[in-house]
Structures are given as C-alpha cells and as structure tokens.
C-alpha cells in the first residue's frame, strides 16, 4: 500500500547520473495467440501499425539503442570468471540461512552485516551448524534481514535493447506469474522463502532429503532451487538451479544449469501430483533456444500457468546474485497482464512512476550496483516529512523532464507521490525505469525481437557461406 504524502514538491536533478533476402517488412507469425492463461481470449492478429520499419535485408537489423545495456552485458561476461569465489561455501551459506528459523521482527537497532559464511570454521576446526547460522542470521532484523535475503537471488535487468547474437547466445522461456522464491530441501524438510526472507511454505517434498521419507545420502545435504510459486495450480515452477545434493552450480553456465534442472528433476518424483510426503508439485519451466521457433513457442505457445512476460538467459552466464544484464525480462500486453506499472489502486497512472531509495546524503537512487542518482531531497524537507535513509519513495515523472543522452537517462524533475510500505525491498533498477519509459513511448516490440533473430540467422548463414568458399 502507498502511504500518501501531502507535499508534492519538485525534486531537482542531482546531475549524476548465403544470401537470404527479406522482400517485405518482417512480420510476426500470422496469428499470435494470447496464452497468458488457458481459456484466455485470442486476438485475431498483431496490429499492422506495430510492424517494424523496413530495412536493407543485406544488413543486420538493429533497433536504435536507448541505453548502454550491451556494454554492461559485455562487462558482466568479462568479469564473472574473475569472481570465481568458493562456490561450495556460498551454496552452504545460503542453504543454512534459508533453513534457519525466521529472524525476529523489525528492530531499529538492526545490524547491517550479513551472517558470517558457514564455511568459516571455529577455533576447534569444526564447521558451523545450522543453529550457529540461525543465531548469526537472527542479528539481521527488519530491512537489513529482507535486503540480505533479497541479494541472494539473481534478478534480471529489463530488456531495453535486443542483444546482438540473440539466436546464438541466448535461451528464452515464458515466465510464470507468481511469487519469486528460493526453495531449499535438507534434513527431511523443505522451506521456501520469498525475496524479502519471509518463509512462504514449510513442507515435505520429493526433492532430495526434502521429507522424512526416503532420505538418501547425508541427511544434511541440501538442494537449492530458484522458483516461482504459481498459486492457481499450487506449483513451484523452477526457473534455475543453484545447488543439487550439495553440489554448487553457482559457477556453471546457464546452459548446463538448465540441463541439470531437467535431468535431475526426472530422477525424483518431485514432478508428481501432491501427496502426504509431497505437498507441492515442482515443474521445470520449458526453456528454448532464442531462434524463431523458440521465440514463438515461448511467446505464443500454450502453458499450464499464467504468463508474465519472457525471460532471456545468456547461455554462458553464471548464477550471479543481484541484478545482472545476463538475464533479461521482456513483456508486452499480449504475454503479460501487466505491461505498465500500476498504482496502489491497481490503475495505470497518467504519468510514469519510479521508486527510488533515500540515502544518508539525501540522494535518490536506484537499486543498481553502483546505484544511479536521479535527484535529491534537502534536509529540511526530509525532517518535515519524517523520512529516513533507506525509505523507498514513489515519484511521478513528467514526459517533458526526461532526456536520453548517450545511453543515459536524465530526469529533470521528480514529483513526490508517496512512501512505500515495508513489503517492498528494493528501489527500481535503471533498466526498469528505462523499460517503463520506452513502453509508454517507443516499446521494444516482439517484431523487433523477431527481426533481430532473423538478422542473426542471416549473419550465421553468410558466415557459413564465406567459410565454405
């Protein structure tokens, strides 16, 4: 819920911040069905006005870039190999934290330090127990506890530019609508936690060591899945795998992780209907190559769940906690019920809204690392409005105050619209702000993605012809 703020004040900008010809415009598949949910109405066809502009078929198709997202993708791929920490220790730390009891309620005297790694041995050389980690995790309270858990999950950037080599280097899937969570099974119990650390379910499952029945191997071995809980059919849809039977997949490529999701899930009965020792069903989200056929299957194919856009994974990406440009989310009003953000009443506001975090120095920043500042508040107004560092504030943005310069977004004026409640963990990312702005003015359309994939295919065929020649 949004708490109203009576003062609507302008916020100044901080200043930071083989030949294959296509003889006609690229079109999407003749009939695009709306499969947000089975039984949903089916539109007759794509609006002809949405067709992409004509281009020389001999040249790669490229939509004008509006951000530096590709530079971030290149940088992320370059640096991930240099970040190869002890993946096993990271997985054990996360598993123990997920299994530990729920931390106490919010407290103003909260520590901002994360729980120590369970891989750090004590003076006697013994590994910390789950109880040890539970005690350490309990020191995190309120916003700090929610932030720590939220930082453990890999979050996609919003796709504002189609990546080059989309067909060659990326997978695509239809994203289920629901609650993003991490699921851990160990010691005969399965626990799921939401992004803010709150326990969603504690239940028996057919995952390895997920129930008292059929324990195999060390009882303390754990598996960690990145899931979306879909309430209509009470199913956990697996979008990624972090650990399986104690084997960490942090430093494995996305392509390998998806292979393991499908192969390892088949080794269990976790995909079976619910039973006494298996409260919720688990199902792997179908993953496709980002070819024309794969894109069509993800976009217009039938699914047992409500769709909420498309997820794109770079095949070479490791599992990186936090926001990463190597995982992307894209949506339109065909494959998602909610293209534009809504207000507290569930209505699309006339002006774009952004959520920013208030820092100690009054700056208003995004959730990116490093954060991007879009403005600032003076101390007098902060005190008058009883605001504190870390508060998440909602602002409206006038179209005329927005400028896109060299891939960077500048907002000349923000209008304070309200303060968010504690259920929200992070501010908007820069890519989300850009995506929402583009969705209102010049959206990245499915036709653009199709054209990009077709252009990739032409380049590959041309290269093959040259090599054969």
Sign (positive or negative) of CA dihedral 120, 124, 126, 128: negative
Query: Which residue would you say has higher pLDDT here, 28 or 437?
Result: 437
CA–CA distance, 248 with 240 (Å, rounded to integer): 12
pLDDT at 2 over 70: no
pLDDT in tens, 269-284: 999 999 998 999 999 9
Say whether pLDDT at 35 is over 80: no
Q: What angle do CA 107, 196, 420 make, to 5 degrees?
A: 75
Task: State yes or no: pLDDT of 303 exceeds 50.
Answer: yes
Does residue 68 surpass a pLDDT of 80?
no
199 neighbors 181 (Cβ within 8 angstroms): no
**pLDDT of 352 above 80:** yes
d(CA 420, CA 395): 11
The answer for residues whose C-beta is within 8 angstroms of residue 259's C-beta and 6 or more apart is: none
* Mean residue pLDDT across the chain: 78
**pLDDT attached to residue 458:** 67
Contact 225, 134 (CB under 8 A): no
State the span(s) of the chain assigned CATH 3.30.470.30: 63-103+132-332
pLDDT in tens, 94-110: 777 666 665 433 333 33
* Distance between CA atoms of residues 227 and 237, nearest Å: 5
Mean pLDDT score, 397-401: 93
The kind and range of the H/E element at 185 are strand 179-186
Residue 194 phi, psi (nearest 5)? -70, 175
Q: Among candidates 12, 50, 64, 26, which has minimal Cα distance to 404?
A: 64
| Partners of 237 in the β-ladder | 228, 283
**CA 386 distance to own-chain centroid:** 32
Position 385 scores a pLDDT of 94
The larger pLDDT score, comparing residue 77 to residue 315, is at: 315
CA dist list (Å): 43 to 193, 337, 439: 37, 14, 20
Residue 93, pLDDT above cutoff 60 = yes
* Reduced 3-state DSSP string for 222-271: CEEEEEEEEHHHCEEEEEEEEEECCEECCCCCHHHHHHHHHHHHHCCCCC
Q: Return the pLDDT at 422.
A: 76
Cα–Cα distance measured from residue 197 to residue 199, given in angstroms and rounded to the nearest whole number: 6
- Per-residue CA distances from 146 to 110, 150, 166, 417 (Å): 11, 6, 34, 24
Do 254 and 315 touch, CB atoms closer than 8 A?
yes
Rounded CA gap, 75 and 82, in Å?
A: 11
**Stronger pLDDT, 408 or 79, i.e. the higher one:** 408
User: What pLDDT was estimated at residue 219?
Assistant: 56
pLDDT (0 to 100) of residue 116: 40
Q: pLDDT band for position 64 (50/70/90)?
A: low
For residue 460, pLDDT beyond 80: no
Contact at 8 Å (CB) between 417 and 353? yes
Domain ranges in the chain with CATH number 2.40.50: 2-17+340-441
Residue 343 confidence (pLDDT) = 81
DSSP 286: P
Q: Looking at the domain 2-17+340-441, which fold is it?
A: OB fold (Dihydrolipoamide Acetyltransferase, E2P) (2.40.50)
Q: How far apart are the first and last CA of the chain?
A: 64
Per the model's pLDDT, the better-predicted residue between 106 and 350 turns out to be 350
> Is CATH 1.10.3720.10 what the domain over 63-103+132-332 is classified as, yes or no?
no
Where residue 138 falls (left for φ over 0; alpha for ψ -120 to 50; beta otherwise) is: alpha
- Give the per-residue pLDDT at 8: 40
Stretch 435-446: mean pLDDT: 95
Q: Of all residues in the chain, what percent carry a pLDDT higher than 70?
A: 69
Q: Are 181 and 227 in contact (CB under 8 A)?
A: yes
Comparison of pLDDT for 395 and 423, the residue scoring more: 395
Mind listing the pLDDT tens digit for each residue in 4-19? Answer: 333 344 454 544 433 3
Average pLDDT for 203-211: 94
CB 240 within 8 A of CB 249: no
Residue 189 pLDDT > 60: yes
Least confident range from 37-41, 356-360, 361-365, 457-461: namely: 37-41
Question: Per-residue pLDDT tens for 368-386?
Answer: 989 999 999 999 999 999 9
CB half-sphere exposure, 35, CA atoms < 13 A: 17
Query: pLDDT tens digits for 155-181?
Result: 999 999 999 899 999 999 999 999 999
pLDDT tens figures, 123-136: 333 333 333 333 33
Give the tens place of pLDDT for each residue, 128-158: 333 333 333 455 666 677 777 778 899 999 9
pLDDT band at 62 (very low <50, low <70, confident <90, very high): low
């Amino acid at each position: 819920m949004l708490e109203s703020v009576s003062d609507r004040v302008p916020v100044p900008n901080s200043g930071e911040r083989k030949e294959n010809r296509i003889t006609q415009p690229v079109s999407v598949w003749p009939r695009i069905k709306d499969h947000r949910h089975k039984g949903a109405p089916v539109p007759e066809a794509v609006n002809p006005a949405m067709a992409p502009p004509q281009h020389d078929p001999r040249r790669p198709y490229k939509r004008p870039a509006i951000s530096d997202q590709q530079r971030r993708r290149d940088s992320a791929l370059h640096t991930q190999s240099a970040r190869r920490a002890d993946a096993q220790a990271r997985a054990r730390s996360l598993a123990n934290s997920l299994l530990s009891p729920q931390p106490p309620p919010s407290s103003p005297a909260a520590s901002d330090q994360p729980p120590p790694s369970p891989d750090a041995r004590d003076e006697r050389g013994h590994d910390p127990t789950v109880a040890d980690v539970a005690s350490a995790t309990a020191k995190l309270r309120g916003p700090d506890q929610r932030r720590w858990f939220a930082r453990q999950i890999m979050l996609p950037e919003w796709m504002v530019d189609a990546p080059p080599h989309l067909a060659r280097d990326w997978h695509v899937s239809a994203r289920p609508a629901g609650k993003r969570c991490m699921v851990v099974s160990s010691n005969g119990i399965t626990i799921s936690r939401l992004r803010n650390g709150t326990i969603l379910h504690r239940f028996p499952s057919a995952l390895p060591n997920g129930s008292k029945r059929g324990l195999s191997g060390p009882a303390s071995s754990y598996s960690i899945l990145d899931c979306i809980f879909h309430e209509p059919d009470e199913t956990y849809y697996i979008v990624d795998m972090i650990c399986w039977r104690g084997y960490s997949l942090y430093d494995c490529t996305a392509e390998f992780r998806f292979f393991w999701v499908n192969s390892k899930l088949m080794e269990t009965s976790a995909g079976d209907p619910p039973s006494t020792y298996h409260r919720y069903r688990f199902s792997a989200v179908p993953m496709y190559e980002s070819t024309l056929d794969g894109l069509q299957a993800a976009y217009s194919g039938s699914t047992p769940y409500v769709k909420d856009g498309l997820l794109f994974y770079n095949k070479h990406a490791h599992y990186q906690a936090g926001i990463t440009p190597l995982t992307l989310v894209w949506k339109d009003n065909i494959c998602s019920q909610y293209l534009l953000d809504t207000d507290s009443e569930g209505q699309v506001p006339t002006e774009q809204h952004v959520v920013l975090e208030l820092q100690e120095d009054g700056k208003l920043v995004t959730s990116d690392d490093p954060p991007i500042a879009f403005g600032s508040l003076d101390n007098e107004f902060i005190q008058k409005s009883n605001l504190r560092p870390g508060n998440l504030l909602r602002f409206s943005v006038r179209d005329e105050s927005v400028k896109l310069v060299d891939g960077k977004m500048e907002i000349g004026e923000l209008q304070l619209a309200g303060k968010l409640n504690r259920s929200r963990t992070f501010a908007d990312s820069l890519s989300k702000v850009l995506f929402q702005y583009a969705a209102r003015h010049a959206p990245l359309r499915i036709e653009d993605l199709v054209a990009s994939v077709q252009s990739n295919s032409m380049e590959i065929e041309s290269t093959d012809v040259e090599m054969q020649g």
